[in-house]
Structures are given as C-alpha cells and as structure tokens.
C-alpha cells in the first residue's frame, strides 16, 4: 500500500498521456480534479484502474453539473488498495453533451450514468443501458438542468 497525493497521481497521468490531460484543479476543491478532454475519458479511466501504482478500482460517484454555458461530468474514484482518491472531470459543450461511457471500465458506472442521463441529459455514448431510470419514460426534459421549467401537468394531474 502506497498512498499517493493528487499531485503525484496527476504527474503519472501527465507522463502517460502528455497533452491528453489538461490540468489539475486544486483550488478550494476536495478532492482535486484532473481535467481531461471528453474524448480520452475511457483511456484515462482504464489507466487509472489498471496501473499498479494507482489501482483505482472503486468508482464512487458520477455527477453531472450544469455550468449554464457548458456541462461538466465529475467522476470520483478511490483505490481500496492504496487508499487514495482523485476526481476526474470532463467539460462538455452545452448544446450537444455527449461523452463516451466508462461502464466498460467499472460496472458501477451503469446506474450512475443512467441517472446522470435521466436527470441532467448528458448522453453516454456506447452505454449498455441508455434508458431513463428515475423518471417515467415519457417525461419531458431533464430536471437538474438550470434552464428546466417545471411542467404544468403530467397525465392530467397538476404538478
């Protein structure tokens, strides 16, 4: 067991991917985020999971964030072997939020991605189960977006 700091983890990522990872976001953020372009999220996650010094085997959480002009997808990962943690973040454009799925890396991502799609409307490309999960299938819109307007009624019942 060898616990690495976020900076060391980021150095390893930088060494592997070079310009494939953009920056480390540390200021008033806990745990720090490694910001990566959406296209390379799958390779980064696979490296995080399989590298013997990192071994991030536990996907804690996937959250979508609506920053009004863009979306962010935040992945919190944890290593049960080395007991260190880091966040990975990808920024998506607001008009077409699409990102490759990571459920091929961690199975835990299946439900977390379904939920993020359902409530935030971020599409996970290649997902094995790209359906709504919490809201009914015929619900319109994605409620956690900042510009979501509450509907007047659903199936004739006033909201």
Partner 1 sequence: MSQGPAKRKPIKSNIFDVVPAPAEIPQNVLQKNFERVRACKGGEGIIEVGIADLFINWCRKNSLWYLYYATACCGIELMQGGASKYDFDRFGAVFRATPRQADMLMTAGTITHKMAERVQRIYAQMPEPKYVIAIGACTITGGPFYKDSYSVVKGVDLILPKVDVYVPGCPPRPEAWIEGIRNLQNLIMKTKNYGLKKA
Partner 2 sequence: MTEPISKEALRTDEWTINMGPHHPSTHGVLRLELTTDGEIVSKARPSLGYLHRGLEKIGERVAWAQFMPFTDRLDYLAGMNCNCAYAWAVEKLAGIEIPERAEWIRVLVCELNRISSHLVAWGSFCADMGAFTPLLYGIREREWVNDLFEMVCGQRLTYNYARIGGVSHDLPPGFLEKTKEFCDYFEPLIDEYNRLITYNKILVHRLKNIGVISARDAIEWGLSGPNLRGSGFAYDIRRAEPYSVYPKLDFNVVVGHADRGTLGDCFDRYLVRIDEMRESVKIVRQVIDRIPDGPVMAKVPRVFKPPAGECYFRAESPRGETGFYLISDGGTNAYRLKIRTGSYMAMNIFEKISKGVMISDIVALIGSFDIILPETDR
Could you tell which of partner 2, partner 1, none binds residue 106, using a CB distance below 5 to 8 A set by kind?
A: partner 2
- Considering beta carbons, is residue 30 or 131 the nearer one to partner 1? 131
136 counts as binding partner 1 under rule CB under 8 A: yes
87 counts as binding partner 2 under rule CB under 8 A: yes
Interface residue with partner 2, options 70, 107, 126, 154 (CB under 8 A): 107
CB of 80 to partner 2, least distance (A): 6
40 counts as binding partner 2 under rule CB under 8 A: no
What is the C-alpha separation between 19 and 35, in angstroms, rounded?
A: 11
- Considering beta carbons, is residue 68 or 158 the nearer one to partner 1? 158
Token pair of 66, please?
A: 């609506």
Residue with tokens 């536990």: 58
Interface residue with partner 2, options 15, 18, 28, 69 (CB under 8 A): 28
- Considering beta carbons, is residue 79 or 116 the nearer one to partner 1? 116
Q: What is the DSSP string of 95-156?
A: SS-EEE--TTT-TTHHHHHHHHHHHH--EEET-S--S--SS-TT--S-TTSTT----SEETT
Helix (H) or strand (E) holding 53: none
Task: State the pairing for strand pair 33-36/85-93.
Answer: parallel
Token pair of 98, please?
A: 């699409």
CB of 136 to partner 1, least distance (A): 5
Return left, alpha or beta for 100; rule: phi > 0 is left, psi -120 to 50 is alpha, else beta.
beta
Interface residue with partner 2, options 2, 7, 70, 111 (CB under 8 A): 111
Residues binding partner 1 (CB under 8 A):
135-136, 143, 148, 150-151, 154-155, 157-159
């Amino acid at each position: 067991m060898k616990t690495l700091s976020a900076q060391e983890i980021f150095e390893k990522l930088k060494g592997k991917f070079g310009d494939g990872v953009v920056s480390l976001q540390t200021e008033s953020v806990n745990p720090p985020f490694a910001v990566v372009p959406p296209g390379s999220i799958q390779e980064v996650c696979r490296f995080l999971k399989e590298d013997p010094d990192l071994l991030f085997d536990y996907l804690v959480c996937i959250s979508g964030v609506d920053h009004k002009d863009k979306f962010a997808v935040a992945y919190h990962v944890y290593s049960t072997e080395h007991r260190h943690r880091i966040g990975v973040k990808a920024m998506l454009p607001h008009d077409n939020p699409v990102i490759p799925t990571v459920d091929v890396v961690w199975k835990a991502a299946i439900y977390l991605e379904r939920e993020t799609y359902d409530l935030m409307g971020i599409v996970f490309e290649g997902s094995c189960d790209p359906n709504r999960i919490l809201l009914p299938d015929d619900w319109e819109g994605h409620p956690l977006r900042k510009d979501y307007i509450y509907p007047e009624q659903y199936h004739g019942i006033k909201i």
